[in-house]
Amino acid sequence: MTTAARPIGATESSEARERLVRVYVWEWPVRFAHWVIFLSLVVLSVTGYYIYDPFIISRGDGRFLMGTVRFIHEVTAAVFTGAFLLRVYWFFRGNRWARWRQYLPLGAEQRHGFREQLQYYLFLRRKPAFRVGHNPLASATYSFVYLLLLSEILTGLALYQHILGGKICGFFIGWLPALINIHYLREIHLLIMFGLWAFCIHHVYSAILIAIEERSGLVGGIFSGYKFFSEERVKEDAARR
């Protein structure tokens, strides 16, 4: 932690005039996984929807176009899966704001923060629940999103194995088509995509909203890793360990 001037864009207030502390919250694996997952989702959504319902008419061999789109989709899916596994690994190796315990409302303090943040979104509270890392409501939401990402990976692998018919892939994912018909898996795979984009819209909105409320450099933090808080707030957060 190092002291720093007020972040650009912060407005003058009694809190903004306090001595601010620069806190390294989001480590590089968290930021790297975040952006790779997002960019991969963009490519996977476009190519995946084309595979589901081709919306481009090829003047040449349509099979070549579909094959190219499938190849891009499969390579991007591998990158997407790698970024997801990196983030899962960092649940156990990262700093205290990145670890898995921060994403589940296990303790009384986290459950209290969950209720406070929910009250804020329901207009029953004027200020959001303060946290250096994610607030408990956001953390619980991200846990659900990670389950959606995992479901998207599993259903995607099942669809890939259905076409490939490989023994190795079938060994790891063959159980899923045995439980759910492959046609339903295809629809589930598509619907999860829409669910993830609905989350992305809310995620951007809430990030900007909380950044304005906290004046902590939240939006810039996903690029630099740093957020800015008063010393009093940093001590308050440390007491929650």
Note the pLDDT of residue 9: 45
Q: What is the pLDDT of residues 133-150, one digit of tens each?
A: 888 899 999 999 999 999
Per the prediction, the chain carries an average pLDDT of 87
Concatenate the DSSP letters of all residues of 94-141 into one string: S-TTTSGGGGS--SHHHHHHHHHHHHHHTTS-SSPPP-SS--HHHHHH
Residue spans of the domains in the chain: they are 2-27+95-238
Instruction: For residue 182, give the H/E element and its range.
Output: helix 182-214
Q: What is the pLDDT of residues 206-240, one digit of tens each?
A: 999 988 888 888 899 999 999 998 888 887 777 76
- Note the pLDDT tens digit of each residue in 33-82: 999 999 999 999 999 999 998 887 766 665 688 889 999 999 999 999 99
- pTM, two decimals, is 0.85
